[in-house]
Structure 1
């Protein structure tokens, strides 16, 4: 139906979900949450950026 599209349901979605979780465990991904530091963010100097410099 209309509301079930792109939701990840059904046998193919289950297979992909399982494979993804196995690959994450194998490669050590998604093991811990990383705290993001917004104080390191520097906004661009101007609205155009470096495109025409």
Structure 2
């Protein structure tokens, strides 16, 4: 039974380490998207039927 307690405590420490690493990376800006805004003008917008029709 003591091995069970050791495994639970170890898993909680590992989970806390991953959570703190994730929070640290979010605060440092590792998930900010710097690439997409610079190429947004190059991406095609979806064309609607009204703007695609040519009235004569």
- TM-score bracket for the superposition, by shorter chain length: 0.3 to 0.5
Which structure has the greater CA radius of gyration?
A: 2
TM-score under structure 1 length normalisation: 0.36
TM-score under structure 2 length normalisation: 0.34
